[in-house]
Amino acid sequence: MPECSVVRKSWSELTTDELYAFIKLRTDVFFVEQKVDEEELDNRDQEPTTEHLWIADAEGTAAYLRVLVDPQPEHRDATHLIGRVVVRADRRGEGLSQALIRAVLDSYPGTPFLLHSQEYIAPLYAKFGFAAFGDSYVEAGIPHIMMYRAAA
């Protein structure tokens, strides 16, 4: 895995350039590349408890994810949700998403997590102790599976 620096900020700490860079990445991948036809800007980015984590390079944001907090767990005791995990096409395969996930899990020891994984990427999350549960479903035209990681 290449050396990379993970940046972590809340909404109120973001600069407009940082916000633009990761929104551009999310749009480029989810809308242009994957043809997702659902709302991207869901108002969850600006919640005070949402954390944005990313890795930047000279081209902009190379990888990104966000951590949401829901007081009412969607599954078991998982009030924390990892979402919007994305890596720019030219940086895929370098372990950037793994670096981001590791940074999240290291920051929240003993915290259970939930995520909605695109099915093809579920093995990546399984490496970190996430287990699939429930039936496969289609979200934004893409097969997904729910995954849960118990408190470690």
pLDDT, tens digit, 9 for 90 and up, residues 76-119: 899 999 999 999 999 999 999 999 999 999 999 999 999 999 99
How far is residue 108's CA from residue 64's CA, in Å, rounded to a whole number?
Answer: 18
Closest by Cα among 111, 75, 82 to 98 = 82
Averaged confidence pLDDT in the chain = 90
Position 27 scores a pLDDT of 87
Position 74 scores a pLDDT of 79
Place of tokens 């994984």: 117
pLDDT at 132 over 90: yes
What number is the average pLDDT over the span 59-74? Answer: 92
Per residue in 25-49, pLDDT (tens digit) is 988 887 666 666 666 667 889 999 9
List domains and CATH numbers for the chain.
6-149 (3.40.630.30)
pLDDT at 21 over 60: yes
The letter for the amino acid at 65 is L
Q: Is 125 helix (H, G, I), strand (E, B) or coil?
A: helix
> How many whole angstroms from its chain centre is CA 2?
19
C-alpha distances in angstroms, 48 versus 40, 68, 69, 74, 113?
Answer: 18, 10, 9, 19, 18
Per residue in 73-84, pLDDT (tens digit) is 878 899 999 999
pLDDT at 62 over 90: yes
Please name the residues in contact with 17: beta carbons below 8 A apart, sequence gap of 6 or more.
none
pLDDT at 1 over 50: no
Of 14-18, 28-32, 61-65, 84-88, which range is least confident? Answer: 28-32
